[in-house]
Amino acid sequence: MASKSVLTPQSEDFPRWYQDVVAKAEMADNGPVRGTMVIRPYGYAIWERIQREIDDRIKLAGAQNAYFPLFIPESYLSREAEHVEGFSPELAVVTHAGGEELAEPIVVRPTSETVIGEFMAKWIQSYRDLPLLLNQWANVVRWELRPRLFLRSSEFLWQEGHTAHASYEDAQAYANKIHLEVYNDFLNEVLAVPTFLGIKPPRERFAGAINTLTCEGMMRDGKALQLATSHELGQNFARAFEIYYQSEEGQAELCYTTSWGSSTRLVGGLIMAHGDDQGLLVPPRLAPTQVVVIAVRDEPEVNEACERLQAQLIAQGVRSTLDRSRGSFGRRVTDWEIKGVPLRVEVGPRDLNEGVVSVTRRDNGEKLTWPLAGVAQEATKLLATIQRDLYARALEWRDVNTLDVPSVVEAIDVAQTGFAKLSWDLVGASEEAQMNNEAVTVRCLQRADGSIPESELENDLLCIVAKSY
């Protein structure tokens, strides 16, 4: 029964474990160019589920999808000083095309504030055109010095929202809405990852933003992962791209813009937030396959029973895969465990004689026996339970590994294995440098009650510091 583990244990070498999971669960491969990534069907199926859930929420928040070009004139980037300064080190620039050197180099988009700003300026005439709420699903390129599959690749897939508003308050409220109703809701309810919500300290802000909201998650090794961010851009980009509108009073007014994004990094977050030594562990609400039905024997009665069962599951709205492959039973089981499918239903002659199926939970290994007739209903119920349990387990892990500390020195110590929470007043420029020397960074700022401050200048703020991906 105790089979030799097919993955490097987390406790032995976490980064190695991560790579093993990515490879053995058939999620992704490295591309031929450094830092590029081939997303394999199973990894892409998970990404499609993420897309679907986030896209639904974005649309509920009122934004519409559009598509802007991959190529951006280099001159656009330079129009916003901080923006170009922040992004120029990681730009890929096209200098030749059509067999000739280009008059103006073309940048491969690292993000689309600039092109979209240009078109917002064109499309917005009156206050009646506001707010303008856009989103696009696209690939972007940021030349990375230290790539890692899903977490940091030179090309990655993401969603970037861009909005324009008539007032500062409107823009701020919308960035906040996306932060809570799109990202945090998705992360908590679907990805089953508890988050710390807060604002970034000035040095961690998006290049060109006046404020950045972040969702920070804790991975199984105690490191932090920034899962999604929403930026208030103030009037910085509106000024650079002349995004004006005519007010009710007939005055020309500058817009306030926001942008917000989440990427294929979420797949990396999924792996590291829930995975164990047996492999990936996908929360039921996210899982492309929620239930795998395994035909224990390749016999007509078994196959027919499996097909009927799967039809019932699908009719019940359960995403289900039927595994009728040959080969040893143990091997098939292990393969599905590595892929993290939440529930495994085994159907064999012995079960059929008794009119039951054998069920195993991926998250805790618990084995159950269900009457064949009630599988679809039971599965639906149990999937909901697993979803809750995964969140609870992640929340407990996070809370146990998040400690209040009274000093920067202790914060650095705690951040070796988890998160440290301390007074933001204790962190001046030299203290932040001291932490950064130890690879510890300020992940976010919060109020004492955990709520989100409007600015880093509020009194009595706390900061959460950690090592991060």
Partner RNA sequence: CGGGAAGUAGCGCAGCUUGGUUAGCGCGCCUGGUUUGGGACCAGGAGGCCGCGGGUUCGAAUCCCGCCUUCCCGACCA
Closer to RNA by Cβ: residue 100 or 146 = 146
Under a CB-based contact definition with an 8 Å cutoff, are residues 155 and 139 in contact?
yes
Q: What is the residue whose two structure tokens read 């600015």?
A: 455
Phi and psi at residue 148, to the nearest 5°:
-145, 135
Closer to RNA by Cβ: residue 98 or 327 = 327
Whole-number minimum distance, CB 115 to RNA, in Å? 18
Under a CB-based contact definition with an 8 Å cutoff, are residues 186 and 61 in contact?
no
- For 265, the token pair is 């990094």
Give, rounded to a whole angstrom, the gap between the first and last alpha carbons of the chain. Answer: 36
Closer to RNA by Cβ: residue 179 or 467 = 467
Whole-number minimum distance, CB 274 to RNA, in Å? 17
103 forms part of the interface with RNA (CB under 7 A): no
Range 228-247, binding RNA (CB under 7 A): 229
- What x-and-dash track marks residues 106-145 binding RNA by CB under 7 A? ------------------------------------x-xx
Range 276-335, binding RNA (CB under 7 A): 278, 296-298, 326-331, 333-335
Closer to RNA by Cβ: residue 45 or 372 = 372
**Coil, strand or helix: which one is 406?**
coil
Under a CB-based contact definition with an 8 Å cutoff, are residues 150 and 37 in contact?
yes
4 forms part of the interface with RNA (CB under 7 A): yes
Range 5-64, binding RNA (CB under 7 A): 5-7, 15-16, 18-19, 23-24, 30, 33-35
Range 433-452, binding RNA (CB under 7 A): 436-437, 439
Range 144-173, binding RNA (CB under 7 A): 144-149, 151-154, 156, 158
| From 112, 263, 290, 446, residue interacting with RNA (rule: CB under 7 A) | 263
430 forms part of the interface with RNA (CB under 7 A): no
DSSP state letter for 178: I
Q: What is the residue whose two structure tokens read 């809570």?
A: 180
Closer to RNA by Cβ: residue 109 or 344 = 344
206 forms part of the interface with RNA (CB under 7 A): yes
Q: What is the residue whose two structure tokens read 């349990």?
A: 389
- For 193, the token pair is 């990852």
Whole-number minimum distance, CB 155 to RNA, in Å? 8
- CB hemisphere CA count around 10 (13 angstroms): 15
275 forms part of the interface with RNA (CB under 7 A): no
Closer to RNA by Cβ: residue 54 or 151 = 151
Under a CB-based contact definition with an 8 Å cutoff, are residues 99 and 27 in contact?
no
**Coil, strand or helix: which one is 73?**
strand
CA-closest candidate to residue 193, choices 392, 431, 456: 392
